């Protein structure tokens, strides 16, 4: 795996006019080992910021509009200054172009509140080449269900807990992945305290029942999935029905296939939930991943 490629942004307000030299003049590639963040930045000390990770295929970033919508939405939920999407678009394309065009990869966009009291957000991007060719898209993975500790009406009862925001504070998500591995699984699926499927720590959950694709509705306190949106668009072109709704945990075992969807790994089929085998639709997985890979933005 090659070293990550890092860019730093001179973060501009959302309504700022493009400088005479162009937005590219506000994006700076930095050499490996160059400090880019002060130790007092609130993104580092409190996870007070937001991020997005876009998949890159053939040098082109994917699902741009969905990721930018989610970045702006997360910033609004945290009461951060709105990002200048034109500036981030230029920066993101520069980062994606720095990756090998014959390999899959990803670009992480990060926006933090900056140094406390400064009023100036910090922004950076990290472009990373994928480690391999994602054999799990074919072989599948095992998952463990983990209680998220929230009921499905969290968004209504406690919006200050920032349900649906993609924040830099990911300690719980990483702890969940470690717990899943302790249980002999490779990933986790969060469930609400009242028994509904939520999301994986870094992915969206997708189920198939007959000719219908199903994903948990986002108002239970989860992120809208950008790859899930693309998967739904593909499914509708194929004449399948798509629906977002409450998904009881029991449906993970009573389905014609379950996947987790993410921007870089795309569609990964689930072979077992809590050590119990479930149906795997390898043919559909192959078709879906081929369609997602064929996207050009």
Write the pLDDT tens digit of every residue in 81-100. 999 999 999 999 999 999 99
Q: Which one, of 264, 296, 200, 263, lies nearest residue 66 by Cα? A: 263
- Whether 197 shows a pLDDT value over 90: the answer reads yes
Mean pLDDT of 1-5: 83
| Percentage of the chain exceeding pLDDT 90 | 90
Instruction: Give residue-wise pLDDT tens across range 37-48.
Output: 999 999 999 999
Determine the Cα–Cα distance for residues 14 and 83; give it in Å rounded to an integer: 5
CB 137 within 8 A of CB 265: yes
Domain 5-129, CATH among 3.30.565.10, 3.40.50.300, 3.40.1280.10, 3.30.470.10? 3.30.470.10
Q: Which CATH number fits domain 136-293: 3.20.10.10, 3.40.109.10, 1.10.606.20, 3.40.50.11600?
A: 3.20.10.10
pLDDT band at 297 (very low <50, low <70, confident <90, very high): low
Residue 216 pLDDT: 98
Q: Is 40 within 8 Å of 115 (Cβ atoms)?
A: yes
How large is the angle between the packed helices 64-77 and 226-237, nearest 10 degrees? 140
**Average pLDDT for residues 56-79, to the nearest whole number?**
93
| Structure tokens belonging to residue 111 | 């926006």
pLDDT score recorded for residue 131: 84
Residue 93 has a pLDDT of 95
The pLDDT of residue 278: 94
pLDDT at 208 over 70: yes
> What integer is the mean pLDDT of 270-292?
95
Compute the distance between CA of residue 190 and CA of residue 150 in angstroms, rounded to an integer: 10
The 3-state DSSP class for residue 78 equals coil
What's phi and psi for 3, nearest 5 deg? -65, 145
- Tokens 């009862």 locate to 157
Nearest to 205 by CA among 243, 257, 258: 258
| Averaged pLDDT score across all residues of the chain | 95
pLDDT, tens only, 96-105: 999 998 889 9
pTM of the model: 0.93
CA atoms within 13 A on the CB side of 248: 5
| pLDDT, mean of residues 4-29 | 97
For residue 176, what are the contacts with CB-CB under 8 A and spacing of at least 6? 146, 188, 190, 201
Q: Tell me the average pLDDT across 146-162.
A: 92
Q: Identify the pLDDT of residue 294.
A: 86
Q: Residue 248 and residue 196: Cα distance in Å, rounded?
A: 4
Mean pLDDT of 182-205: 97
Is residue 201 within 8 Å of residue 258, measured between CB atoms? no
Q: Please state the rounded mean pLDDT for residues 211-233.
A: 95
Q: How far is CA 86 from CA 64, 106, 116, in A?
A: 12, 19, 26
DSSP code of residue 200 = B
pLDDT of residue 77: 95
Distance CA 139, CA 70 (A): 31
Contact 150, 221 (CB under 8 A): yes
Interatomic CA distance for residues 253 and 130, integer angstroms: 31
Q: In the chain, where are the structural domains located?
A: 5-129, 136-293
Nearest to 170 by CA among 76, 53, 87: 53
pLDDT score at 221: 92
pLDDT tens column, 239-279: 999 999 999 999 999 999 999 999 999 999 999 999 999 99
Q: What is the pLDDT of residue 132?
A: 81
**Tokens 């296939």 correspond to what residue?**
257
Task: Give the residue-averaged pLDDT of 174-195.
Answer: 98
Residue 57: strand pairing partners: 60
**Per-residue pLDDT at 296 exceeds 80:** no
CA distances 205 to 11, 33, 222, Å, are 33, 37, 11
| pLDDT higher than 60, residue 5 | yes
Query: Taking residues 65-94, what's their average pLDDT?
Result: 96
pLDDT value at 1 more than 70:
no
Phi, psi angle pair for 289, to nearest 5°: -65, -40
């Amino acid at each position: 795996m090659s070293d990550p490629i890092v860019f730093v942004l001179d973060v501009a307000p959302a309504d700022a006019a493009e400088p005479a030299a162009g937005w590219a003049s506000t994006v700076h590639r930095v050499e490996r080992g160059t400090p880019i963040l002060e130790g007092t930045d609130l993104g580092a000390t409190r996870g007070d910021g937001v991020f997005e990770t876009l998949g890159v295929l053939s040098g082109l970033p994917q699902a741009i509009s969905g990721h930018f919508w989610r970045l702006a939405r997360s910033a609004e939920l945290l009461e951060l200054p709105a990002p200048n999407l034109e500036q981030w678009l230029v920066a993101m394309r520069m980062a994606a172009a720095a990756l090998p065009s014959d390999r899959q990869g990803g670009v992480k966009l990060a926006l933090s509140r900056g140094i406390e009291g400064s009023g100036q957000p910090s922004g950076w991007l990290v472009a990373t080449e994928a480690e391999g060719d994602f054999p799990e898209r074919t072989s599948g993975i095992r998952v463990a269900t983990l209680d998220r500790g929230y009921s499905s009406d969290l968004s209504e009862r406690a919006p200050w807990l920032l349900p649906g925001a993609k924040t830099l504070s990911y300690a719980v998500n990483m702890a969940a992945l470690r717990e899943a591995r302790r249980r002999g699984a490779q990933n986790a699926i969060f469930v609400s305290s009242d028994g509904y499927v939520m999301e994986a720590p870094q992915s969206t959950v997708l189920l198939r029942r007959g000719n219908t694709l199903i994903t948990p509705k986002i108002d239970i306190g989860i992120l809208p999935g950008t790859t899930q949106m693309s998967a739904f668009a593909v499914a509708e072109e194929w004449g399948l029905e798509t629906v977002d709704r409450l998904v009881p945990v029991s449906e993970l075992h009573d389905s014609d296939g379950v996947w987790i969807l993410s921007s870089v790994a795309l569609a990964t089929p689930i072979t077992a939930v809590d050590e119990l085998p479930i149906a795997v639709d390898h043919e559909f997985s192959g078709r879906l991943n081929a369609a997602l890979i064929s996207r050009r933005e």
